[in-house]
Chains A and B, each alone.
Chain A
Amino acid sequence: MDTASANDFDIRDYLRVELLPHFMCPGCGHGIALRALLWAVHDLKLAKDRLAIVSGIGCSGRVGAYIDANTFHVTHGRPLAFATGLALARPDLEVIVITGDGDCLAIGGNHLIHACRRNLHLTCLMFNNEIYGMTGGQVSPTTADDRLTTTTPYGNAEPSFDACALAAAAGASFVGRGMTLQTVALKNLIRDAISHRGFSFVEVISDCTEIFGRKNDLGSSPEMILRQKGSMKPDTYGNVVDRPFRPNAVQTGVLARNDRPEYGDAYRAAVLGAAGAAVAG
């Protein structure tokens, strides 16, 4: 473990501390995911001025507002679209998208697959808590089979998305999954995703304790976070590891990675190259 990095990382250097405590419910995993992101930024020694955070709508969308950097809170499902424009216009920025399972896969599903296809240098963090928490607990594309939500009072009958498989199939050149329970591993994954040149998709398994947890009787916050270790419903996380003592263990880490050409470079070479390099600035 990187003790030195743990020692000199103070998350408050990267937060708008005057806005804290944040609005999220007790036990919500998004706070831990935010810590992992900021710790990764700290490890990479990225200047806050060079960091651009784009977030959509939902609980995950509100997370970006607490980061002391360039932050954009944009329309529902569109953070990837905004980020695409931003990353093309300002290649000097490190653009990171924070989005949720509903924002990214339902409302913004179209933007996700095309962002994956283009392979523009972006990092997309999808906080997956299996529910639309902010609007009162409706079913989301990643809600597992049989789960109770406000809109599925008799259990969810829809099959759910494996977001990582979707992103990899659509062409994302870095796909990974981490869980808030393993903060250090998640930090390292996000750090690698940011350093990867190309489109990086990271699914962060997070917990909605107040709504999803209550509706489905998943217990207290510590019980819910511990459940990430081995008793998740498998269908949301396609790559379930079949291990004898860990049924339903979710596969984490880097799931797909390749070095195909990055879109921004290709775009500048093809379009701006002809018009003269001066436009690029």
Chain B
Amino acid sequence: MNVEHRPAVPTNVLIVGVGGQGVIMVSKVLASLCQQAGLEVKQSEVHGMAKRGGSVFSHVRFGETVLSPMIAHGEADIMVALEWAEGLRWLDYLKRDGGTFIADTQQIVPPVSFRNRRRGARSGYAPATPAEVIDLVGNGFALDATRMAAGLGNERVANTVLLGALSTALPFPREGWLGVLDGLVPPKTTEVNRRAFDAGREWVQNFDRPAEQAAAAVAVPVSGDGLDHRLEITEAWCKGCDICVKMCPERCLTLNARHIVELTDPAACTACRLCEWLCPDFAIRVLTASAPAPALAK
């Protein structure tokens, strides 16, 4: 494969996401492709904190000669974010003018972003909408790659969708990308990865709509009072075994004088359902707004 485009200054691509999404896979495809094209490539990554859900990033630099493996602040030509908040976290690495920002609007909300465990509590997760961010960077693409991948039959190829989007910003031919991709993914998933790659490419090529709204399915719905649930206790069935009282993480249940369970602190209840699941006597039922009406009457 030959590429005429041989810039003296290296091209910087920063790929970020969380553990398990395939950040390293995307950077591997890019690095191998550049290597095949006869360019010098340096790649460095941090995945030590990754486990599943931790922050992961990978720097890829390629060109005629590459000296440092790291991208400095404000020097990334292209940034690919596999997770929305990770994209925002690394945004200051992107070139102020002319940097390309490609992001999945998928939100993976970490539990630590909740200050309050009540159901419906507001989280500290990135509040900026994709439209606002895309306005800010100028050359940005925010696509719901995860949902696109799910539509193709495998949510895990979301990274390949973004790889497809990335491929439009670099001067390598489509066949070159697919050749490297085929060699790196498990043989069983070659087909779905190829389709995901093309889906990402097409999305960018047809891009003329405003940035899609952030994936509607944010982990926890944000509502005002948070009291959209209640406990239904069938007193006649409770034997006072104390399991729910001791197991409740919020300590909002107690046994009353008759040794029957009582919800004494409704405001603390998060509707986690632990009491319902662990009650050997079926005496507790957690009713949330979406649950059907109680069926005891029959």
Specify which chain B residues have a CB less than 8 angstroms from the CB of A8 in the assembled complex: 291-292
A225 adjacent to chain B (CB < 8 Å) = yes
| Pairwise interchain contact A10-B281, C-beta atoms closer than 8 A | no
Known A11-B282, A15-B282: A27·B292 in contact at CB below 8 Å: no
A20 adjacent to chain B (CB < 8 Å) = yes
Cα–Cα distance between A12 and B246 once the two chains are bound (Å): 24
Write the B126-166 contact mask toward A (1 if CB under 8 angstroms, else 0).
00000000000000000000000000000000000000000
Specify which chain B residues have a CB less than 8 angstroms from the CB of A209 in the assembled complex: 241
Cα–Cα distance between A25 and B290 once the two chains are bound (Å): 33
* B residues 260-298 in Cβ contact with A at 8 Å: 273, 277-283, 285, 288, 290-292, 294-296, 298
B239, B241, B279, B294: which has the most chain A beta carbons within 10 Å? Answer: B241
A28 adjacent to chain B (CB < 8 Å) = yes
A220 adjacent to chain B (CB < 8 Å) = yes
Specify which chain A residues have a CB less than 8 angstroms from the CB of B182 in the assembled complex: none
| Pairwise interchain contact B290-A7, C-beta atoms closer than 8 A | yes
Write the A213-243 contact mask toward B (1 if CB under 8 angstroms, else 0).
0000000111101100000000000000000
Cα–Cα distance between A17 and B294 once the two chains are bound (Å): 13
Known A7-B288, A183-B277: A26·B282 in contact at CB below 8 Å: no
Specify which chain A residues have a CB less than 8 angstroms from the CB of B240 in the assembled complex: 26
| Pairwise interchain contact A12-B243, C-beta atoms closer than 8 A | no
| Pairwise interchain contact B279-A220, C-beta atoms closer than 8 A | no
| Pairwise interchain contact A221-B243, C-beta atoms closer than 8 A | yes
A29 adjacent to chain B (CB < 8 Å) = yes
Specify which chain A residues have a CB less than 8 angstroms from the CB of B296 in the assembled complex: 12, 17
Specify which chain A residues have a CB less than 8 angstroms from the CB of B282 in the assembled complex: 11-12, 15, 20, 31, 35
Specify which chain B residues have a CB less than 8 angstroms from the CB of A222 in the assembled complex: 241-243, 245-247
Cα–Cα distance between A72 and B11 once the two chains are bound (Å): 73
B8 adjacent to chain A (CB < 8 Å) = no
* A residues 17-45 in Cβ contact with B at 8 Å: 17, 20-22, 24-32, 35
| Pairwise interchain contact B242-A27, C-beta atoms closer than 8 A | yes
A107 adjacent to chain B (CB < 8 Å) = no
* B residues 9-55 in Cβ contact with A at 8 Å: none
Q: Of the candidates A6, A27, A180, which one forms a contact with B241 in the assembled complex, judged by CB atoms under 8 Å apart?
A: A27
Write the A1-17 contact mask toward B (1 if CB under 8 angstroms, else 0).
00000111011110101
Specify which chain A residues have a CB less than 8 angstroms from the CB of B288 in the assembled complex: 7
Q: Is the interface of B mostly helix, strand, loop or mixed?
A: loop
B114 adjacent to chain A (CB < 8 Å) = no
Specify which chain A residues have a CB less than 8 angstroms from the CB of B280 in the assembled complex: 24, 26-32, 180
B237 adjacent to chain A (CB < 8 Å) = yes
Count how many chain A residues have C-beta atoms less than 8 Å from C-beta atoms of the other chain: 33
| Pairwise interchain contact A184-B241, C-beta atoms closer than 8 A | no
Cα–Cα distance between A10 and B232 once the two chains are bound (Å): 12
Sorting the interface of chain B by its residue count into under 10, 10 to 19, 20 to 34 or 35 or more gives: 20 to 34
Cα–Cα distance between A8 and B240 once the two chains are bound (Å): 26
What distance in Å separates the Cβ of A234 from its nearest Cβ neighbour in chain B? 24
What distance in Å separates the Cβ of A130 from its nearest Cβ neighbour in chain B? 17
B236 adjacent to chain A (CB < 8 Å) = yes
Which partner residue on chain A sits nearest B293 by CB separation? A10
What distance in Å separates the Cβ of B61 from its nearest Cβ neighbour in chain A? 42
Known A12-B296, A21-B236, A28-B280: A6·B285 in contact at CB below 8 Å: no
| Pairwise interchain contact A32-B278, C-beta atoms closer than 8 A | yes
B243, B279, B288: which has the most chain A beta carbons within 10 Å? Answer: B243
* A residues 184-230 in Cβ contact with B at 8 Å: 184, 209, 220-223, 225-226
Write the B223-265 contact mask toward A (1 if CB under 8 angstroms, else 0).
0000000000000110111110111000000000000000000
Cα–Cα distance between A6 and B277 once the two chains are bound (Å): 9
Which partner residue on chain B sits nearest A223 by CB separation? B246
What distance in Å separates the Cβ of B278 from its nearest Cβ neighbour in chain A? 6
Known A28-B280, A31-B280, A32-B278: A221·B291 in contact at CB below 8 Å: no
Cα–Cα distance between A27 and B280 once the two chains are bound (Å): 6
Which partner residue on chain A sits nearest B286 by CB separation? A6
| Pairwise interchain contact B295-A221, C-beta atoms closer than 8 A | no
What distance in Å separates the Cβ of B216 from its nearest Cβ neighbour in chain A? 16
| Pairwise interchain contact B241-A26, C-beta atoms closer than 8 A | yes
Specify which chain B residues have a CB less than 8 angstroms from the CB of A28 in the assembled complex: 280
Cα–Cα distance between A24 and B279 once the two chains are bound (Å): 12
* B residues 144-200 in Cβ contact with A at 8 Å: none
Specify which chain A residues have a CB less than 8 angstroms from the CB of B285 in the assembled complex: 10
| Pairwise interchain contact B243-A27, C-beta atoms closer than 8 A | yes
What distance in Å separates the Cβ of B200 from its nearest Cβ neighbour in chain A? 30
Specify which chain A residues have a CB less than 8 angstroms from the CB of B279 in the assembled complex: 31-32, 35
Closest 5 CB pairs between A and B?
A31-B280, A222-B246, A27-B241, A26-B239, A26-B241
